Amino acid sequence: MATMTDEIDLTESIPDVSPCKTCTISTLRSNAHSSHIRKGELPLELVHSDVLGPFRIGYNGARYIVTFLCDATQLSEVYYIKSKGEVFDCFRHFKAQYERPGRTIRRLRTDNGGEYSSLEMQRYLFAHGIIPEFTVPGNPQQNGTAEKFGHILWSRAKTLLKHSGLDFIYWPELVKTSNYLRMRTSHSRLPGTPYEAWYNSKPHYRHLRTPGTKCCFLERLRNKQTDNATEAILLGYEGDHIYRLLTKSGSIVRASTVIFAAEKRDLEDVGDTSPAKRTCNQPVLDL
């Protein structure tokens, strides 16, 4: 611009002046975070938490997801809830379920939501020596670990819903299934899986099947004249020996004796190995 006008001398250096107040108010943006927060060195020393939602109401009335993630071991737990007022109860359950001697929660990192900053929650944290670490309002990147975990969890749940063909109202079950599979999947911050880092033993994989797979499960017989098995669809897992299944009537049941469609063979086909009669193996879910 110095060559565009003769009326103002723009070749002289501009003196140092304080920032324009108007420009500061109008254009100030959050600074990039050049360093990470202090990591948790011990199991449960630092726990990240976040609430996702609201989502479309699930089959059980759930609208939100609350997540808890151990920074050191990547142990994760999820709860589906009807309102944010249930977050406090979920945290108490998580603490009671996983805390052990030498594994206690010392820091809880969350956003500044009212479900975490309530007086009831603050009193509980103070009584148990837990330091709350709140993010600054409008800076979700300060709780980036929990935000990223929630995004990955929900993306996997949506993928399982679409692949299985189940109605969207069953998203709470698929969220729990996604977390179950994540605990048994290798993690970049760990030499193995979160399951192994927390339990100090390798997880089992033989029981895994794709959600939405048709199956038959053994029901408790009340009438010997009825069939032994009932048809259902796989939703998820409770541990390594119990499946959660959706029956044709729309009810969700728990069963341990289950034969999946890929393992099922009609009686007349037994012994026949021709290509037309051979049953294909059901692929295990690609993690």
What would the pLDDT profile of 213-259 be if each residue is shown by its tens digit?
999 998 776 566 566 788 999 999 998 899 999 999 999 999 999 99
For tokens 């499946």, the residue is: 243
With a cut of 80, say whether residue 203 has pLDDT above it.
Answer: yes
Rg of the Cα atoms in the chain:
27
The answer on pLDDT for 277 being more than 90 is no
How much of the chain exceeds pLDDT 70, in percent?
75
> Helix 144-164 vs helix 171-182: angle between axes, to the nearest 10 degrees?
120
Question: What pLDDT does 229 receive?
Answer: 85
Residue of 221, 223, 222, 215 whose CA lies nearest to 262 = 215
Domains observed in the chain: 46-199 (3.30.420.10), 204-264+280-287 (2.30.30)
8 Å CB contact between 112 and 134 = yes
CA distance 210 to 243: 12
Distance CA 113, CA 96 (A): 23
Lowest-confidence region among 47-51, 80-84, 139-143: 139-143
Tell me the DSSP string of 56-108: S--TTS--EEEEEEETTT--EEEEEESSGGGHHHHHHHHHHHH-BTTB---EE
